Amino acid sequence: MSSGLAAVILAAGKGTRMRSTKPKVLHPLCGRPMLYYPLESARQAGFPQLKVVVGHGADQVREAFPEQQIEWVEQTSQLGTGHALMCAVESLRGYSGPLLLLCGDVPLLKPETVQRLYEYHRHEEAAVTILSARMADPYGYGRIIRDGEQILGIVEEKDADEDQRLVTEINSGTYLFDAAFVVSALQGLTKNNAQGEYYLTDVVAAATAAGKTTRALCVDDATEVMGINDRRQLAEAEVLMRWKINADLLYAGVTMIDPTTVYIDDGVELGTDTLIHPNVHLHGKTSIGRNCIIETGVVVTDSQIAAGSHLKAGSVIEGSQVGPDCVIGPMAHLRPGTQLAGRNKIGNYVETKKAVLGEGSQASHLTYIGDAEVGRNVNFGCGTITCNYDGVNKHNTTIEDDVFIGSDTQFIAPVHIGRNSLIAAGSTITKDVPADALALSRVDQKNIVGWRLRKQKKS
């Protein structure tokens, strides 16, 4: 048994109402699987020992968290929350401290709330402490039955009588247990209820019957304990989480013209004095530096954008590194492997892929740069293409510093262009070009005088 407090996260359910082949806890929420959030809440609240109970799609769930320090516990038959915790008992052998239990489909719970629950549990010296909430419409939730501070039990909706259904304090499904007590109490659970399942809630009644202290801590904001059972609730949670992400960024010095139409994944970093226009999407492992401008319709995924850069409307950036003071777009596409050193311009309808551009190099419009190494202060004329694929293999184009490339040029890779050379417009370059040279590849122009008049006369 490793050191530190222990937490069990229940993530075995199929999530039938999601109507999906994907396990419920893997549905994305602001860029991360739903299960990520209760795991992080437990960690940040000081519970490093994480036991996750999986069942439906167990292999998929495990594969989604390959680098996490997690002990996986399998629940082969879903016989209720009590049975899920029973499955984790063996992994808790030798542990006698406070045991946190979280639900994998309750992603909005804050680490601060978990920490407050833990402190209250310790202060009250309770065997069981429930995280509760008050709801104007508690339909579907188990009701907290109190005798003052002491909790007598939790009654599920299907088992509640008329008076109990009038109770507005509900069970969130989050608990803190005395580990030794709950392991003992699980042995006495039965399936004698409307669902025919082992209710974890029966542990509360068992604690009261044994004369133990039972408590409930009511959250200030009931949305924290919102459970996700279908895609409508997932969308509601997305709105709430996205607003929190955006609000935190606004407080940190980022400007958003309309925060309700900005979509930023959890973990994305933005620098101060950056301006975000409406309908911007920032995904994955993305960071945006200070004093940037991100215009309408920009989508950035897994990319780093340095300070002072301007991403113009409709541009798409994936897996790229953009240096300081670059101007991208409008309607540019930076594909994975693009690296811009700084002060670069990638203009409208320019596409890059595995392209490394030195400082000050630019392609203003209608250009494709792929599998290329480009030096400093290179200018790509309109319609330039690095022809990097021969139908079987990809080949590189190397362009040294200070090269000027005329419009409608094709580089047939592999090819090396020496520094300070000039490529004449309309050229197809199939051979290396030495430094300081003019490269010219055209068919000689031929003018046939009077051809147009003779053609018209015949017709």
Q: Is 24 annotated as a binding residue?
A: yes
- Can you tell me whether residue 227 is helix, strand or coil? coil
C-alpha to C-alpha distance for 237 and 83, rounded to whole angstroms: 28
Q: Which two tokens stand for residue 123?
A: 């202060």
Q: Is 197 annotated as a binding residue?
A: no
Q: Is 229 annotated as a binding residue?
A: yes
C-alpha to C-alpha distance for 127 and 179, rounded to whole angstroms: 8
Q: Is 396 annotated as a binding residue?
A: no
Q: Is 188 annotated as a binding residue?
A: no
Angle at 427 between CA 423 and CA 430, to 5 degrees: 90
Q: Is 171 annotated as a binding residue?
A: yes
User: Would you say 24 and 67 are in contact if contact means Cβ atoms under 8 Å apart?
Assistant: no
User: Would you say 227 and 103 are in contact if contact means Cβ atoms under 8 Å apart?
Assistant: yes
Q: Is 377 annotated as a binding residue?
A: no
- Cβ atoms within 10 Å of 356's Cβ, excluding its own: 19
* 373 burial type by CB count under 10 A (0-12 exposed, 13-18 middle, 19+ buried): middle
User: Would you say 176 and 98 are in contact if contact means Cβ atoms under 8 Å apart?
Assistant: yes
Q: Is 75 annotated as a binding residue?
A: yes
Is the bond preceding 414 in cis, omega lying within 30 degrees of 0?
yes
Q: Is 425 annotated as a binding residue?
A: yes
Q: Is 51 annotated as a binding residue?
A: no
- Can you tell me whether residue 67 is helix, strand or coil? coil
Q: Is 353 annotated as a binding residue?
A: yes
Q: Is 393 annotated as a binding residue?
A: no
- Over the range 247-286, which residues count as b (16 or more CB within 10 Å of their CB) and which as e? eebeeeebebeebeebbbbeebebbeebebbebbbbbeeb
Q: Is 15 annotated as a binding residue?
A: no
Q: Is 407 annotated as a binding residue?
A: yes
Active site residues: 365
Residue numbers belonging to the annotated binding site for UDP-N-acetyl-alpha-D-glucosamine = 10-13, 24, 75, 80-81, 142, 156, 171, 229, 335, 353, 368, 379
User: Which parts are annotated binding residues for acetyl-CoA?
Assistant: 388-389, 407, 425, 442
Q: Residue ranges for the binding site?
A: 10-13, 24, 75, 80-81, 105, 142, 156, 171, 229, 335, 353, 368, 379, 388-389, 407, 425, 442
Q: Which residues are annotated as a binding site for Mg(2+)?
A: 105, 229
